Structure 1
């Protein structure tokens, strides 16, 4: 079996993944609020979409929202709507994302990036099922299921005062933690074959064949970008090496960091010919940024430096 029948887009047979999928199937049968956690690229939106598709709300709207993309000054207006004249530029009555999700599911990705004021209104909505548009004097009752997701540790953020603890507990009714790809390396071959065939059909080319040496190298790699990174790499191979038999040495170094360099960063030995320290630092920063989805605070934590120090190095090395 490549994947659970209920979640065909999340493939794999590893116990860690199958456990999450079983829990998600149970969650889907209810209207319980769920919090999906996992590193960037593990498939959090796919899991949330799967829950919606097999729930009683499947015929209702599916409204995904990336909280990190919401302008801080417009969070409440975007989420909960506004009436004409509520603020400068509000030239018409506009429903919010919660209104658009009526009788369906509102998926709030990157929930940790939601402003504190937006968190307060979201908490009220979760507890009372009602919201109030900007410029309105009355609350509206809505029937919307909330599924949230994050790659950050909300418990730690709550302890630091950067995320409302009451909202965290309200969201974390049913926690669903997706494992990183490096924790389910037994699924790599299944994913590799799935992406190889599906992407060859999409691009109308003959699928390449991956030699055993490729699988060996992939199994040793840490996959900081998780399943998304694997899919992107396979798509590159499908497009640029269609119909070929691909060996590990055929994959350019720029596409995948050398597996041996990721096995034990802390125990690495200095080569006899030496290294360029600047290159090592740049490589570690790149890996940390990829693993955290570009979140600078979390990246700084992984590297053991302050955020200000990280920002200085990002500017020094020309990161954007």
Structure 2
């Protein structure tokens, strides 16, 4: 018989002691630890580092509501983002499920609890956690790269969390709003929502609302009948209609003019449209995914964007971090783009020179992934040698200037310097431990100890 300490840890957060005991004894394949409130849950999380958590949203001091439960969920994931939190609630199941998933929960089940059904969800969560853990070990020990969602390549925890959210919401027939700066990959994420959904075999139709003049946007979205206006020589369906059974991606949705917002809202409420010049309502089954870089809250406040339309479009909101907020992704994506473009544009290019890797790591990337992709594409075309250089990328190679805030003490300053040096050495050697140790002038065991100390992976 296995030592109980060798079993995977399941944390059950439940204030009903009877149900707590029932759940504890139902899972003999796990080491089950329990908590009755938020403070105990955080204590157990820190003490046992469970891979999976089941969380009742109705916790004291708000057992009849969900406020304390959602606060606990947020705190659990802030401390251990890779934990698979399975949320339970009998309060407004659909609304609670949507909010829980948006906050990062792995799954949701309504009360009363079906032990067998919950057991399947728990088993699947442990299985997924084990796969992700193995992937992380492989990524850290080999190439440091991962394809986590379709063509989206990332090693950044923030983007991996977004990928998990997309995986969870793709199958639900809800509207998704992607918020992020230009060039962060909003259309790739929109396509991922479509490709992971039951609508994947139907059309994915994209329209950039900022790129079409106001007087033409209505016709583009809703279509028009023959003779509706000068030049309308034939009946033409709009983008909404063309996305029948599939997904319509509205990029830069904040640029839709107010009069057209009213017509879009009517479609979202009634799921019917009328073409310009038409009188016949047309039923359309189209899922909406939208994106914007604008502050829609401010636009609502000054009357430029309808609040009721926002809530129809934003059943799930996904904020996308800038490339600068995604540590490790710039060099990873650069290598991905080099491999992709070299095959087509310049097969003699085989990789990235050390000075280019250093410059990529140092650059702030104000244009995000789009800027990186454009620079790499140009560099691959212009490169004379087998490795693209910082000059090919048109990036400076001057030594990095320290402009950060003063560390709190000497120990903190050394940690910052150590982390930066280790990260740069691993980047330049493509995560080759022996090569990185040699660059740093230390032994392999010393480098392993430092990586363990600073939780940089091994």
TM-score by length of 2: 0.54
Q: Give the match for residue 62 of structure 1.
A: 204
Quote the offset at 1:261 in angstroms: 9.3
Q: State the Cα distance separating 1:251 from its structure 2 match.
A: 4.0
Determine whether 1:190 maps to 2:332.
yes
Q: From 274, 278, 286, give the equivalent of 1:132.
A: 274
Higher Cα radius of gyration:
2
Q: Which digits, 9 at most, give the CA deviation of each residue in 1:287-314, with x for residues without a partner?
A: xxxxxxxxxxxxxxxxxxxxxxxxxxxx
Which residue does 2:316 correspond to in 1?
174
1:73 is paired with a residue of what secondary structure? helix
Question: Structure 1 71/246 Cα, relative in aligned 2: closer, same or farther at 3 Å?
Answer: closer
Whether the aligned pair in 2 keeps the contact of 1:104 and 1:144 (CA below 8 Å) is yes
- Indicate the SS of the match to 1:185: coil
Unmatched runs of 5 consecutive residues or more in structure 2: 1-138, 140-144, 405-458
Q: Tell me the residue number matched to 2:362.
A: 220
* Cα 1:246/1:204, change in 2 over 3 Å: closer
Q: Which residue of 1 aligns with 2:171?
A: 29
User: Residue 254 of structure 2 aligns with which residue?
Assistant: 112
Matched, 1:210 2:352: yes
Determine the C-alpha separation between the residues in 2 that align with 1:112 and 1:257: 36
User: What CA distance in whole angstroms lies between the structure 2 residues aligned with 1:171 and 1:218?
Assistant: 36
Q: Which residue of 2 aligns with 1:163?
A: 305
Report the Cα offset of residue 110 of structure 1.
Answer: 0.9
Contact 1:221 1:259 in 2 (8 A): no
Q: Report deviation, 1:17.
A: 0.4
Aligned match of 1:89: 231
TM-score by length of 1: 0.76
Mapped partners of 1:77, 1:9: distance in 2? 32
The Cα RMSD (Å) is 2.3
CA offset at residue 41 of structure 1? Answer: 0.8
Post-superposition CA distance 1:259-285 (Å, at most 9, x none): 7799869xxxxxxxxxxxxxxxxxxxx
Distance 2:400 2:235 in 1: 56
8 Å CA contact 1:208–1:241 kept in 2: the answer is no
**Number of matched pairs:** 262
Answer 1 or 2: which has greater strand percent.
2
The alpha carbon displacement at 1:216 in A equals 2.3
Q: Output the CA distance in 1 between the equivalents of 2:383 and 2:206.
A: 35
Aligned residue number for residue 245 of structure 1:
387
